[in-house]
Structure 1
Amino acid sequence: MSEEVTAKDSIVNRISAQSIVELHFALKLDDGSVVDSTFEKQPAKFTMGDGSLLPGFEQVLIGLPEGVRQAFLIKPEQGFGMPNPNNVQKVKREQFAQDIELTEGFMVSFADANKAELPGIIKSFDEQWVWVDFNHPLAGKTLTFDVQIISVRQPDQMSD
């Protein structure tokens, strides 16, 4: 009986470092609120190591077989990191359009030196200055990463 289980188990595709993975996922905060989810739409498909997922999220997937659904607690250090106080910048209020009503928590977008979009959250403001937090909104947060593995393929199985 144990030989049969071992033989079957070797047939099941498990996630490894170069696997092509299709999965559903949900990211949840400590209070249970869902930040992002694919469960109600198309599953995510990616190759492990391609940068689609942060390394801390990929690490918990290694070894999981097709068909499994599991939830993992992702600490900030394995997720989006800890907030960096240097990422809170003081910007002259005059750099904001006159018609923008500034409120704490409002998301604004700037262009960096390479003209790439750089989103920030207004942390506070006064008559002359606006403090904008450019940390990732999930920095410092412990997340629950709920995954359902739909399929796992290895690069050499792509013709199957």
Structure 2
Amino acid sequence: MTELVQHDSAILVHFVLKLEDGSTAESTRANGKPALFRLGDGSLSAGLEAELIGLKAGDKHAFTLTPENAFGIASPDMIQYFSRRDFVQAGEPEIGAIMLFTGMDGSEMPGVIREISGDSITVDFNHPLAGQSIHFDIDVLEIDPVLETNHANPVG
């Protein structure tokens, strides 16, 4: 087991994400299930990874990231307009609902229904927390935890 979080560490953490108004956006403590992150796999922002590097198991760390370093800036290019007939099989969408959309390459992407006006439905593909400063409260539980899956661990 590694002592400090490094650029390629897997870490088991509890976290609370709060918005600028103090409301909680997400909390692993609420459901009692910690999250597993792998640094360096592209799933975390560089700003978040930088805050985690050097922490050790048992550390508690609170910090705030700007939108650029958290979930990015909301982009108008990520807002798209659909026709109501595009939703025939999915059912009637509701404002605020998050739905999965399949891209041309077959990948799935979540989108938030922002507006329904007549036959036009506005879908926002920005991350729901894009454009917001986020306050993180993180408790590092384990570094490079032993997982239940069987896989070879390289030595070195």
TM range (shorter): 0.7 to 0.9
99-108 vs 36-45, which deviates more? Answer: 99-108
Aligned to 1:28: 18
Deviations 1:28-56 (A, max 9, x none): 22233322222242323343212342222
Say which one has the larger Rg.
Answer: 1
Task: Kindly state the Cα deviation for residue 96 of structure 1 after the two structures are TM-superposed.
Answer: 1.8
| RMSD, aligned CA | 2.8
Distance 2:16 2:4 in 1: 20
Query: Runs of 4+ in structure 1 displaced over 3 angstroms?
Result: 98-103
Question: Quick check: 1:139 aligned with 2:136?
Answer: no
Distance 2:60 2:54 in 1: 13
Task: Kindly state the Cα deviation for residue 103 of structure 1 after the two structures are TM-superposed.
Answer: 3.7
Task: Kindly state the Cα deviation for residue 121 of structure 1 after the two structures are TM-superposed.
Answer: 1.6
**Structure 2 length-normalised TM:** 0.77
Deviations 1:94-153 (A, max 9, x none): 222288444432333321112222221222232232221111111111111111112335
> Do the aligned partners of residues 88 and 46 (structure 1) sit closer, same or farther apart at CA in structure 2, a change above 3 Å counting?
closer
Distance 2:123 2:37 in 1: 33
Question: Quick check: 1:75 aligned with 2:85?
Answer: no
Aligned to 1:49: 40
**Structure 1 length-normalised TM:** 0.75
2:4 paired residue among 14, 20, 28: 14
Name the count of aligned residue pairs: 146
**Paired-residue identity, %:** 38
- Identify unmatched segments of 5+ residues in structure 1: 1-11
Supply the AA of the counterpart residue of 2:138. Answer: V
- Identify unmatched segments of 5+ residues in structure 2: 145-152
Task: Kindly state the Cα deviation for residue 82 of structure 1 after the two structures are TM-superposed.
Answer: 0.7
Question: Quick check: 1:85 aligned with 2:95?
Answer: no
